[in-house]
Chain A
Amino acid sequence: MNISKISMRNITRQKKRSFLLGGAIAFGVFIIITIGSFTAGMTETLKENFTSIMGGHIYILGTETLDSGRIVQVIGDTADLERAIDTVDDLVKEYHVRSQVRMGEIIFGSKSTTLQVSGIDWNKEQLLKDTLTIADGSLENIEKAGSLIIPEKVADKLGVIPGETVLIRMDTVTGQKNVGEFTVAAIVQEQDSFSFISAGYTEMGYLNDLIGLESDEYQYLNLHLKDIAQMDIVAEKLVTELEKTSLVDAGDDEDEDGEEDQRHGMMFGGGMTSASDEPWDGTKFSITNLNDIMEPVLQLVNILNIVSLALFVILMIITMVGLINTFRMVLIERTKEIGTMRAIGMHRGSVRSIFLLEALYLALFGAAGGIILSFATTIITGLIRFTADSALGLFLHSGRLQFITTPVSVLQVVFLLAVMTLIAVYLPAKKAAKLKVVDALRAQY
């Protein structure tokens, strides 16, 4: 009988004890894999939602000062910017130029609600069209001035259908009040899963006219990269290139007045009209990327991961203490058996290996149980459809929670568990291996 078979047989000798120990290990594995899958899915969903609604991965915003000292959001002179983006052109999939009304108020009859309206150059921005899921109406005439796409949630609230005319109250780039007439061309799904922003889209030239920009001007340029992993490198390169010719706010410093918060706020829309103490010439660029915007959320994800890891480690320490005690008892129970095996020629190393393998098998069975339980839980939870208005709205992908479990993350947990188990059982195993044959055979217990 080889060592592996003996170890396996030993597990089945004390079924109840093995089940309890394996169950504790399974619970710890279940917790860490489920939370890890949730946070990975949450991060991915947020990235997808942000990319979709922001129109890319890197966002270049322009601000200029008026003679009065007031700051307006516009990229007036594009020559420097074009020169800079040429240097990263091979890494970019699509360029999206946009103007935006951050806090527009869409009105239909006596009903109104908040809507962020983005002005889109439909000839250049194909990806957005591909990601929109039409619930009603069509994108056929979307390039027509005044055509508007709104999310289903907004359409439901207003009771509006495609073909009807709505008003949008907005501010111009200098902060003046204005109102525009729009015809609802299409009502889209999905956007409402990103529930904290209701995003609408219209033709850029028409929106520009309403917010006081020239038809060919825009407020920011978004870069949709071929590889999202290149995001920080591309952003850094753009900052370096732009700094050669223009004022640049790279987005990596923060002052106590919450300048970074303001910059992120600006990324979500136009019409910034605060006064500047120190006016500047030309366009001042601000470059942020998806990681900058998601930083608070990523911090939350990291905290969740740390908490789950701490919980896992605590659970494992408790389990390992149980494991040590169990194997010390096993050592006492099997002293005579060890003496017999040693007497018929088994080496000390083999005795140690039997103990270690028994513990390892127990840990692996427990891990397998935890992984299966975690998979079942995530699959079932992933099937539940939440309403966009729920507290989870921000983390929903098509109305559902997304769980991502990677083989690497599972293997990491299993490896960590295996190492902890082997360390815990090493001392009883060593003690068992060191037993003298005569003493073991003479043992009265």
Chain B
Amino acid sequence: MKKAITIFLVLLIVSLSTVSAISLDDANTILDTVDTSRNFTGTDFSAVMTMISEDPDTGIEKKKVQQFRRDDSDMFLMLFIEPAAEKGQGYLMIDENLWFYDPQSRKFNHTSMKESFGGTDAKNSDFGASSLGDDYKVLTVEEGKLGRFDVYIMDLEGTNSEVTYPTVKIWITKDTNLMLKSEDYSATGRLMRTSLFPSYAKVGDKFLATKMIFNDELIDGKKTQITITDISSKDLPDSIFTKSYVERVNR
């Protein structure tokens, strides 16, 4: 009888664990869902970002950026509003080319999505359309908790040698498939950056992280906090995503 109970309990535990576990295929599907819920397909998007960077060397710096996105065409424009010294600078993504505009020299220079955004701990790629499902595949997945949230914890590996970070670990809520945290690792396996996304807003049927915290894990005390306000999903004129528009706003 005792043996039968033991076998029953073992079978119960095994079956429960099978039910709660998630396959890698399912995990990869969740990655696609994360992209879908974060990308503004079928609609344009604009908002104002307030970025506060803390650097042990240079102190605290505040920047304000007007953001315009058209994820359907992989286009975005980020225009610096503050501080005065950087006003008019902008990042313009068109036709898979990312340009940085400097109003002082009045020149557009090529830059990369992997580069730091305006000297902060955020990367340019943090503000474009999300492509986790294309860029990464899930190596391992487990269930866990992050604060009060039930999450999937996934270890991701880049599908090509051109993704910004070769390996990434992410925490995704089980119920809403929102990314709450990510850890970005170097090719040598060292943790380089931790990103936190503690709050989201629903814009139409999409989710937008309204607060982001990027911690530089290599430099003690270096971090950037981004708050997003004035969110709108109204259609934007085509002219916004052009070089001439960026030049015009600087006149």
Partner of A111, one of B57, B114, B188: B57
A210 to B190, CA, bound (A): 12
A273 in contact (CB, < 8 A) = yes
A175 at the interface (CB under 8 A from B): yes
**5 pairs, A vs B, C-beta closer than 8 Å:** A109-B220, A110-B219, A176-B158, A176-B187, A210-B187
Q: Which of B2-10, B162-170, B194-202, B238-246 contacts A (4 or more CB under 8 A)?
A: B162-170
Are A107 and B187 in contact, CB atoms less than 8 angstroms apart? no
Most buried by B among A174, A177, A273: A177
Contacts of B222 in A (CB 8 A): 110
List the A residue with the shortest CB-CB distance to B107.
A258
A273 touches B188 (CB 8 A): no
- State whether A174 touches B56 (Cβ < 8 A): no
A174 to B161, CA, bound (A): 6
Which residues of chain B come closer than 8 Å to A275, judged between CB atoms?
96-97
Task: Kindly state the interface size class of chain A when it binds its partner.
Answer: 20 to 34
One of B57, B158, B161, B186 near A179 (C-beta < 8 A)? B186
Question: Residues of B contacting A274 with CB < 8 Å?
Answer: 110, 112
User: Do B161 and A169 touch (CB < 8 A)?
Assistant: no
Task: Check A176/B192 contact, CB under 8 A, given A109-B220, A111-B56.
Answer: no
- For A62-80 the 0/1 string (1 means CB < 8 A from B) is 0000101010000000000
CB distance from A154 to the nearest CB of B (A): 13
Size band of the B side of the interface? 20 to 34
Interface residues of A in 133-188 (CB under 8 A from B): 167, 169, 171-172, 174-180
- CB pair B220 A176 closer than 8 Å: no
B184 at interface by CB-CB < 8 Å: yes
Q: Which residues of B contact A175 (CB under 8 A)?
A: 112, 114, 162, 164
**Pair B164/A176 contact, Cβ less than 8 Å:** yes
Verify if B83 is at the interface (C-beta below 8 Å from A).
no
Q: How far is the CA of A107 from the CA of B164 in the complex (A)?
A: 20
B40-65: CB near A (< 8 Å → 1, else 0) gives: 00000000000000001100000000
Distance in Å: Cβ of A212 to nearest Cβ of chain B: 7
Task: List the A residue with the shortest CB-CB distance to B217.
Answer: A179
Let me know if B188 and A107 touch, CB within 8 A.
no
Point out the residues of chain A lying under 8 angstroms from B187, CB to CB.
172, 176-178, 210, 212
Which chain A residue shows the least CB distance to B96? A275
Contact indicator B188/A180 (Cβ below 8 Å): yes
Q: Mark A368-392, 1 if CB is under 8 A from B, else 0.
A: 0000000000000000000000000
Contact of A273 among B96, B112, B158 (CB under 8 A): B112
The chain A residue sitting closest to B158, CB to CB, is A176
Interface flag for A112 (CB, 8 Å): yes
**Nearest 7 interchain pairs by C-beta:** A110-B56, A110-B220, A178-B187, A174-B161, A179-B186, A178-B186, A175-B114
**Whole-angstrom distance from the CB of A344 to the nearest CB of chain B?**
76
From known contacts A174-B162, A176-B166, A177-B164, infer whether A107 and B186 are also in contact, taking CB-CB under 8 Å: no
A110 and B57 in contact, given A179-B190, A180-B188 (Cβ under 8 angstroms): yes
Contact indicator per residue, chain A 174-215, by CB within 8 Å of chain B (1) or not (0): 111111100000000000000000000000000000101000
Whether the Cβ atoms of A179 and B162 lie closer than 8 Å is no
CA distance A66 to B164 in the complex (A): 16
* Contact between chains at A107 and B160 (CB < 8 Å): no
A176 proximity list for chain B (CB < 8 A): 114, 158, 161-166, 187
Question: Beyond A70-B162, A169-B192, is A177–B186 a contact (Cβ under 8 Å)?
Answer: yes
- Tell me, in angstroms, the Cα distance from A178 to B222 when the chains sit together: 18
- Is residue B16 within 8 Å, beta carbon to beta carbon, of the partner chain? no
Shortest beta-carbon distance from A261 to chain B in Å:
9
CB-based contact A177/B192 at 8 Å: yes
- Give chain A residues whose Cβ lies under 8 Å from the Cβ of B190: 179
Q: In the complex, A112→B55 CA distance in Å? A: 10
Q: Is the CB of B184 within 8 A of A177?
A: yes
Per-residue CB proximity of A220-245 to B under 8 Å, as 1/0?
Answer: 00000000000000000000000000
Nearest CB in chain B: distance from A147 CB, A: 17
